[in-house]
Structure 1
Amino acid sequence: MPYGVWEAVYIIEGLLKNASEVQPATIHADTQGQSYPVFALAHLLGIDLMPRIRNWKDCLFFRPSRSAVYEHIDALFGEAGRNVIDWGLIETHFKDLMRITVSVRGHDLLDAAAQAAALRLPQERHLHGVPGGLGRVIRTVQLLRYLSDAPLRGRVTAATNKVEAFNGFSDWVRFGQRGTVAHNDPVEQEKDVKFTSLLANLVIFHNTLDIADVVRQLQAEGWEIDPLDLAEISPYLTEHINRFGVYSTHEIGITPEDYNTRLDVDFSTLEDERAPAA
């Protein structure tokens, strides 16, 4: 990531490059995963940006008009008549915003640095502040949702905690040099990060297969597996792994058996549990 570019545009870039069958429509991130322009771009791309924002109580809430006054939450919006959305500016240049969005969606601006430059729009003075203006609208709505919806806060916290857990797991995997990337060469730095991610994912895959084997064994013994209990099990297990390895050269030529992807557990109940209330 170039210095000065927030990680949010890279998250969006990753979603747009995603060619798998899983097509997520929601992004969770920490504070640097959001900004006014990124909220605007995510909304126009049909992505629900739901970050965990540090010190959200210090964030500005924007009024839809100067005359808007709220009985119980007006203090969130600052002084009366302040922090007002300029709807006319957004409406005037909405086509330009859509042009940028279509370019990003069509991968014309897929590079994250190019996205960031387009969102700042330094070369188009007549669009100065427009993406941020729309982003103020979207972020204000998201902050109000976050305040009023306790289950939503729980989902955001749980999702971002999973990311932090993965980061801790990756640090455990990359125990050499205390997890420090010692190279000054950007190419070698990228290799270090990517190889760490590859190794972490391999260990996660290994743990997942072991968990599935144990579940099948318990089912064979007559145990009923509750999907809610199974959903609480993390694949970031380390206690059974010897990081320094046990080496046996005669096993190099042994072809492993095909892994079994079938797990006879009905996870549909999880969707019912997590579905937001109407």
Structure 2
Amino acid sequence: MPGSRRYCDPAAYLLSPAKWAGQRAEFCRLVGKSADPAAGLARMEEELHTALGELEQTLAAGDGPVRLDEAGDLVISPLSAEDVPAEAVALKAELTEMLPFAPIVSLLIEMDQRTGFLGCFTHAAGKQARSPELKRNLIAVLLSQSTNLGLTRMADACGISYDVLAWTAEWYVREETLRAANLALIGYHQGLPLTAVFGSGTLSSSDGQRFPTRGKSVTARALSRYFAHEGLSTYTHVTDQHTTYGTKVIVATRREAHYVLDEILGNATDIPVTEHATDTHGVTLVNFALFDLLGLQLSPRIRDLGKITLYRTGPKSQVLDAFPLAGPLLTRRANTELIAAHRDELLRLAGSLKFGHATASLLVGKLSASVRQNALAAALKEYGALRRTIYAARYLSDAAYRRKISRQLNKGESLHALKRDLLYAHEGAIRARHLEQQTEQAWCLTLVTNAVVTWTTEYYGLAVASLRAAGRRIDDQVLAHISPAHSENINFLGSIDVDVEGELAQLGPTGYRPLRVRDTLF
């Protein structure tokens, strides 16, 4: 609809043809894609045939977790729970007993000493002289938001006046500074010896976590499955190294798939994410297409995968001759002519996202909702249907691939549990009513969660180094099963006494708290 902001052509949000002409070659080089339609389709057909060949071998076995029944229908057995080695369970219990106990205030002071994340909170008016009490006030504000106590309760708990806390929150704590502080923690966490054992950093996942709300809010919605009354969702992005690099507050009833790419494309960390896992709520054909066009791999865990429609690129008889078992599963033929005709427009769409010309959530939402008369949306969905077929064939034929996706999604769930432990006050109900305030609280929670993960990872590393120095053999394969997303050694409750200098004095000459063992190096 010409002149409409809501119903306009999605192509109106893309780079102009003139600008795209000058950036096409650079984009294709960055994502490893060819601008030639024939070359692009040939490469995708080769990937499809390779994936179908692997699936054919899996189905030929006939008795595995992925097989065909007597009627020729696909049977997918549920993935069994991961068999965590007993050695890993015992080692985690031993390391947890070695870690020191620390109040959450002490933990934040200690992490600031090594990362300087509190220095990222700058005055909104620009450079200002920083008072000696500023760090104390910032920690109190961060805890008031991340524990859901609020500034009034925090003022009573820590002895800092409400006016001081409110002034600090107003001038220093905002999304910009919270993101910068979070980057400082993630950067430090990446350099820890134990971090590389958890993962390479190239795999991440995203999932929504729902919180109840109190009072009226433009983002709150009634959803009886999750809330007694109303609530909202925070959509978070987590790396395979257990850190959270993205947080976004969304309406609980809105589809999560629209927001999957936002934080990946806006990722300001040094984490080289190339593959991303989601659950069923994060999947659309548009996402499958855009991930591939951007040089990324979408690896979701789709519920009822055996019931989705799979596509082929050629005649049915040709596919059946090449793949007698897997071929009948491909019930529809993709419109490759439409994909080839709009190859440049598809690349321009991905380039507009890559170069920050438009946000992914805006375009994904509009293109997912577009009717078939929109040629660009139709071509994108045909492209996505082929990419989903390649993914499904690979997922069904590779048990290790299925396990990797499940393990990564479980890491996100463990961080959700840690956040629920942190956000204990007022029964975990968000009381902020405006989106800006809710976003700031969500980022405070993410920041403190990452501080806990970083602190635990570092002390786990010290404990492992202590055991190895004493002659104990500890394999990295065993350590990979241990998650730092836990709070057994951290006290979130009790009195809150923010004494920066006093806490630093307790660290001793090593700069660390002593481990709870005898005859160790620390």
Matched, 1:142 2:391: yes
Deviation at 1:123, TM superposition (A): 11
Q: Distance in 2 between matches of 1:156 and 1:236?
A: 18
CA displacement at 1:227 relative to structure 2: 0.9
Aligned ranges for residues 19-38 of structure 1 at < 5 Å?
A: 19-38=268-287
TM-score (norm: length of structure 1): 0.82
Please state if 1:182 is matched with 2:431. Answer: yes
Higher relative contact order (CA 8 A, sep 6+): 2
Report the identity percentage: 25
Counterpart for residue 342 of structure 2:
93
Q: Which AA in structure 2 matches 1:187?
A: E
Matches within 5 A, 1:120-135: 125-135=374-384
Structure 1 contact 39–135 (Cα < 8 Å) conserved: yes
CA distance in 2, matches of 1:198, 1:120: 34
RMSD of aligned alpha carbons:
2.6
In the TM superposition, what are the counterparts of 1:231-246 in structure 2 within 5 Å?
A: 231-246=480-495
Deviation for aligned residue 1:2: 5.8
Please report how far the alpha carbon of residue 60 of structure 1 lies from its aligned counterpart in structure 2 after TM superposition: 1.2
Relative distance call for 1:102 and 1:57 in structure 2 (3 A) is same
Q: 1:169 aligns with which of 410, 415, 418?
A: 418
Distance 1:103 1:2 in 2: 26
The correspondence for 1:192, drawn from 417, 441, 458, is 441
Output the CA distance in 2 between the equivalents of 1:180 and 1:166. 18
Cα offset, 1:181, TM superposition: 2.0
Residues 106 and 248 from structure 1, CA distance in 2 versus in 1: closer, same or farther, beyond 3 angstroms?
A: closer
Q: When you count strand as a share of all residues, which structure comes out higher? A: 2
Distance 1:211 1:128, change over 3 A: closer
The structure with more radius of gyration: 2
The answer for unaligned runs of 5 or more in structure 2 is 1-249, 513-522
Q: Which residue of 2 aligns with 1:224?
A: 473
Instruction: Tell me how far apart the structure 1 counterparts of residues 498 and 272 of structure 2 sit (CA, whole Å).
Output: 41
Q: Distance in 1 between matches of 2:406 and 2:257?
A: 17
- Give the structure 2 partner of residue 42 of structure 1: 291
d(CA) in 2 for partners of 1:154 and 1:99? 35
Q: Which range is displaced more, 92-101 or 10-19?
A: 10-19
- Determine the structure 2 residue equivalent to 1:65: 314
Residue 173 to residue 2, structure 1, CA distance change in 2 (3 Å): closer
Verify the 8 A CA contact 2:299 2:391 in the aligned structure 1: yes
- SS of residue paired to 1:129: helix
Matched, 1:106 2:359: no
1:7-55 deviation line (CA, Å, top 9, x unaligned): 3443322122223222111011111222101100000000011011122
Moved more, 49-58 or 246-255: 246-255
Deviation at 1:124, TM superposition (A): 7.8
Moved more, 20-29 or 185-194: 185-194
Is the Cα–Cα contact under 8 Å of residues 204 and 235 in structure 1 kept in the other structure? Answer: yes
SS at the partner of 1:27?
strand
User: Alignment length, in residue pairs?
Assistant: 256
User: Using a 3 Å threshold, how does the CA distance of structure 1 residues 183 and 33 change in structure 2: closer, same or farther?
Assistant: same
Closer, same or farther in 2 for the Cα pair 1:142/1:250, shift >3 Å? closer
Confirm or deny that 1:51 pairs with 2:300: yes
CA separation of 1:259/1:48 partners in 2, compared to 1, >3 Å: closer, same or farther?
farther
What TM-score does the superposition give when structure 2 sets the normalisation length? 0.45
Cα pair 1:40 1:131 within 8 Å, conserved: yes
